[in-house]
Amino acid sequence: MSRFLAFIASRLVIAVPYLWLLVFFLVPFFIVFKISLSQSAIAIPPYLPVFRFNEGIEGLLRGLRELSFENYGWLLDDPLYVNAYLSSLKIAAVSTLLTLLVGYPMAYGMARAPHSLRPVLLMMVILPFWTSFLIRVYAWIGILKPEGLLNQFLFFLGLIDQPLIIHGTTAAVYIGIVYSYLPFMVLPLYATLEKMDYSLVEAAEDLGCTPISAFWKITVPLSLPGIVAGCMLVFIPAVGEFVIPDLLGGSRTLMIGKTLWDEFFANRDWPVSSAVAIILLLILVVPIAYFQRAQARAREEEN
Amino acid sequence: MESLGSTRRSFAPWLDPNAEPYIRFENVTKSFGDFAAVDDLSLTIYEREFFALLGASGCGKTTLLRMLAGFEKPTSGRILLDGQDLLGVPAYRRPVNMMFQSYALFPHMTVEANIAFGLKQDRMPKAEIADRVAQMLKLVRLEQFAKRKPHQLSGGQRQRVALARSLAKRPKVLLLDEPLGALDKKLREATQFELMDLQQELGLTFVVVTHDQEEAMTMADRIAIMDRGKVMQVATPAQIYEAPASRFVADFVGAINMFEGEVLEAAAGRARIRDRSGVEFSLDNGGDASAGTTAWLAVRPEKVQVTRERPDGAVNAMEGEVWDIAYLGDMTVYNIRLNDGRLVKASVLNSLRRIEDALTWHDRAWISFAPDAGIVLIR
């Protein structure tokens, strides 16, 4: 009897996360998916209901017949959406690379710092999280705008006589993304670099490697799991980023998150914006799946 | 002093005043903050020598090795290799290779790639690299493991890969940091002899760091005993054991009985010492003792005889009680408690299978040793 109870209990424990995913991920996903197949209408909510439960079986069947992938076809036809997707992927890819270039030396320096200093450095990386993300992005407006801190400082140094126009450009979006997502890059990199046995680098130098070539042949390959994890953690949210391009970017910075927002709130076209969201999800599922597999492989390697 | 014990082979360039040392440490100091890990140390090592740095952990032996490899810079002093000052020569240009204590095998490369790594840095032609790698794999008998990754190997196999990798470039000097530390006892003993054979066969200079005195005694031509950044004595294993230069060395290597006393007489190499219980000892080898000073008489346990009666004509003898007996199979170690409470250790070889009338706990017994069995130490 008690064994039976234990069996039930163990199943329950496993069931909890599955239930969680079902209720908070799969069900909303299907709701959004369903809306994406519907038609926009002047109503509350602003789309044609798919299922009319009060009309019995007939109503359900009629509802099903009304479903169509028309919205998806429309998205692919309109270059605005395709360009927004491509531009989002490009901006996310470039800023991921920039974040890696800034984050790697930081993580490396932290991992090689004296033991007593490491918690402090780690704290300094995490500290910005204690302030609202929105406020931090707003602060960058104050830095980047033509009469902002950066331009004033450069004037003071005498390096420029015309203010640099950064705010409202794609460059500002890059700066914003690199700044906001840097900790997500630094932390996994630091974790792998700190674990690495430094005597491996010494062994490489002992065998004739210059310090630079030892870095490329030993340190970089061995920190690859951290590089992959950091890049995924930056790339995935950056593709759908809305706040940064909205606040720092200009009208010419095309990103899918902004398009989504406009469809929802300006056009009130829920079916199309749902379709935009579903396609965005599909685009991101591929790198996420790859990331998961890479992680699983790394774990196997360790065992 | 050269008659003490016999060296393993007739190889003793350190006795030849014309021999030029291969490695020279000249007044080398290495400080980390206030702490001097290596303190004004001078040392010479000869070509083709198997040299051991022996000491407790923290004595500076690893720091010394790392300075030779180029991973640490001396705070002051010079290190010369084959007449060339190594200061300013980075680790990757030194003709020495190191076998790391942790082995430091590259986890993302196969055994083969690990061994080939150093050769590739030298831009050796591919075919030659393949030849050399095959040769090295054969040397350490790991031919069938060439394609494995380090984590698929046992501890002993990893040790051999590390050895093969450090030998692949045919360095002039091989540095070994606790090479056998991670192996179990049986494997360690077998590997000791393998290393010695390898060193003879390849004609290389080996500098090995170890805290295991048995390992150092077995393998090395000469041993440097280190303590707190200084060299206490450099000598052959036999000299270290039979003619230690100080109480520290005598105590550090093997077991020893020490009696503090006053030198009554010291002349022509002989010495008479009265220990604090009033017993007088006379020794053939008086060392540097001079009359009227304090000195220590040291006797190894295997040179102490244990008998029921005072042996006839024994010069150095004391009476006591059998306090402890440890039967080790090949020998028996007795702890004899002297009348004044001090314990003396004596080990007796069990050359007969059965001894009638063997000593047992609380028997009265005499300990004695010959005049040439003891060492007089003044430091």
For chain A, what is the HEC assignment? CHHHHHHHHHHHHHHHHHHHHHHHHHHHHHHHHHHHCCCECCCCCCECCCCCHHHHHHHHHHHHHHCCCHHHHHHHHCHHHHHHHHHHHHHHHHHHHHHHHHHHHHHHHHHHCCCCCHHHHHHHHHHHHHCCHHHHHHHHHHHHCCCCHHHHHHHHHCCCCCCCCCCCCHHHHHHHHHHHHHHHHHHHHHHHHHHCCCHHHHHHHHCCCCHHHHHHHHHHHHCHHHHHHHHHHHHHHHHCCCHHHHHCCCCCCCCHHHHHHHHHHHCCCHHHHHHHHHHHHHHHHHHHHHHHHHHHHHHHHHC
Dihedral pair phi/psi, residue B101, rounded to 5°: -60, -40
Distance from CA of B200 to the nearest CA of A (A): 23
Chain A CB contacts of B107 below 8 Å: 200, 222
What's the Cα-to-Cα distance from B309 to each of B313, B318, B321, B366, rounded to whole Å? 12, 10, 12, 6
pLDDT over 90 at A212, yes or no: yes
Contact list, A222 vs chain B (CB under 8 Å): 107-108
Nearest-by-Cβ selection for A203 from B100, B108, B169: B100
Of residues B174 and A296, more confidently modeled: B174
B92 vs A197: CB contact, 8 Å cut-off? Answer: no
pLDDT given at position A249: 84
pLDDT of A49 reads: 67
% of chain B surpassing 90 pLDDT: 15
Task: Tell me the chain A residues in contact with residue B152 when contact means C-beta distances shorter than 8 Å.
Answer: none
- pLDDT surpassing 70 at residue A248: yes
> Cβ A204–B117 below 8 Å, yes or no?
yes
CA distance B110 to B116: 10
Q: Which residue of A has its CA nearest to B168?
A: A207
Q: What per-residue confidence (pLDDT) applies to A109?
A: 94
State mean pLDDT over A41-70. 70
**What mean pLDDT, rounded, does chain B reach?**
85
Q: Give the confidence band of B186 by pLDDT, cuts at 50, 70, 90.
A: confident
Read off the pLDDT band of B2 (50, 70, 90): very low
pLDDT score for A200: 93
Query: Which helix (H) or strand (E) element contains residue B14?
Result: none
ipTM of this complex prediction, to 2 decimal places? 0.79
Percent of residues, chain A, with pLDDT higher than 90:
31
Q: Which fold has domain B13-244?
A: Rossmann fold (3.40.50)
Query: What is the rounded CA–CA span in Å between residue B243 and residue B285?
Result: 10
Quick one: closest CA in B to A218, which residue?
Answer: B106
Between A and B, how many residue pairs show a Cβ–Cβ distance under 8 A? 59
Residue A114 token pair: 């004296």
Please judge whether B165 and A205 are an interchain contact, meaning their C-beta atoms are less than 8 angstroms apart: no
Whole-number average pLDDT of chain A: 86
| C-beta atoms of A206 and B98 within 8 A | yes
The average pLDDT across B129-151 equals 89
More confident residue, A227 or B183: A227
Q: Closest partner residue to A206 among B69, B106, B107, by Cβ?
A: B69
Q: Report the residue of B66, B97, B108, B176 to disrupt the A interface, i.e. the one with the largest count of A CBs within 10 Å.
A: B108
CATH match for A78-302 among 1.10.240.10, 1.10.3720.10, 2.30.30.100, 3.40.50.920: 1.10.3720.10
Stronger pLDDT, A3 or A62, i.e. the higher one: A3
> Which of B63, B106, B132, B167 to probe the A interface (max A CBs under 10 A)?
B106
List residues of chain B with CB under 8 Å from any CB of chain A: 69-71, 90-93, 96-98, 100, 102, 104-108, 117-118, 121-122, 151, 165-166, 169
CB contact under 8 A, B102 and A218: no
Residues of chain B positioned with their CB less than 8 A from the CB of A219:
none
Instruction: Name the residue among A203, A211, A222 with its Cβ closest to that of B108.
Output: A222
Write down the pLDDT at residue A47: 73
Shortest distance, CA A260 to any CA of chain B (angstroms) = 44
* B102, B108, B122: residue with CB nearest A199: B102
Q: Which residues of B touch A206 (CB under 8 A)?
A: 69-71, 91-92, 96-98, 166
Return the residue of B nearest to A300 by Cα. Answer: B151
Nearest CA distance, A10 vs chain B (angstrom): 34
pLDDT, average across residues B199-211: 89
Contact assignment for A199 to B100 by CB distance below 8 Å? yes
CA distance A299 to chain B (A): 13
pLDDT tens column, B307-328 = 888 878 777 888 888 888 888 8
| Preferred mutation among A206, A227, A297 to probe B, highest tally of B CBs within 10 A | A206
Q: What is the pLDDT of residues A83-141, one digit of tens each?
A: 888 899 999 999 999 999 999 999 999 999 999 999 999 999 998 888 888 999 999 99
Least confident of B6-20, B112-126, B140-154, B199-213: B6-20
| List of residues 6+ apart from A126 with CB closer than 8 A | A183, A187
Position B6 confidence tier, pLDDT thresholds 50, 70, 90: very low
Task: Quote the crossing angle between the two packed helices A170-195 and A118-126, to the nearest 10°.
Answer: 150
Question: What are the domain boundaries of chain B?
Answer: 13-244, 255-377
- Closest-CA residue of B relative to A203 is B104
Asked if the Cβ–Cβ distance from B108 to A221 is below 8 Å, we say: yes
| Structure tokens given for A134 | 């929105």
Q: State the best of B32, B105, B121 to mutate against chain A, taking most chain A CBs within 10 Å.
A: B121
**What fold is seen in the domain B255-377?**
OB fold (Dihydrolipoamide Acetyltransferase, E2P) (2.40.50)
Check residues A64 and B131 and name the one with the higher pLDDT: B131
For residue A109, the distance in angstroms to the closest alpha carbon of chain B comes to 19
